[in-house]
């Protein structure tokens, strides 16, 4: 972690919504999702928020040795977004508590605010993290 990782870091990222991030694409195995409207899925929206937060802090980490993982999300999905519209995410790092990072997040499509809330991430050492996941796989017999 670099000394530059401090509250106040802001970042914006824009993404044009395609069919690959609509509700029916969320779990192709789920018949229920296949019958739902063709709009930006909340699950993919959360991923877009995470992606933007990752982009915001990576320059302030020893990337890729240090990375961040999402640990908490508290957002509302306020408006539906069809394919073809662009969503712009704005994030601001508001708290650094050791390895815990807290962001204010907000996103808008071309017409409406679609989400706002908070997101928490933790800084990890990728090699150590992968080792713990490997141990978990072994214990599970995978």
- Residues recognised as catalytic: 42, 50, 77
DSSP sequence for 49-105: HHHHHHHHHGGGTTTTTEEEEEEEEEEEE-S---TT-EEEEEEEEEEEETTEEEEEE
- What is the rounded distance in angstroms from the CA atom of residue 98 to the CA atom of residue 5? 11
Residue recorded with tokens 């969320």: 26
């Amino acid at each position: 972690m670099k000394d530059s990782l401090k509250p106040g870091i802001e970042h914006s990222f824009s993404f044009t919504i395609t069919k690959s991030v609509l509700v029916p694409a969320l779990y192709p195995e789920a018949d229920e999702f296949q019958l739902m409207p063709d709009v930006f899925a909340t699950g993919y929206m959360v991923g877009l928020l995470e992606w933007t937060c990752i982009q915001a802090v990576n320059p302030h980490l020893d990337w890729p040795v240090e990375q961040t993982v999402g640990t908490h999300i508290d957002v509302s999905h306020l408006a539906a977004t069809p394919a073809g519209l662009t969503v712009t995410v704005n994030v601001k790092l508001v708290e650094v508590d050791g390895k815990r990072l807290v962001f204010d997040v907000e996103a808008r499509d071309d017409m409406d605010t679609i989400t706002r809330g908070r997101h928490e991430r933790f800084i990890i050492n990728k090699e150590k993290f992968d080792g713990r996941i490997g141990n978990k796989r072994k214990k599970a017999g995978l």
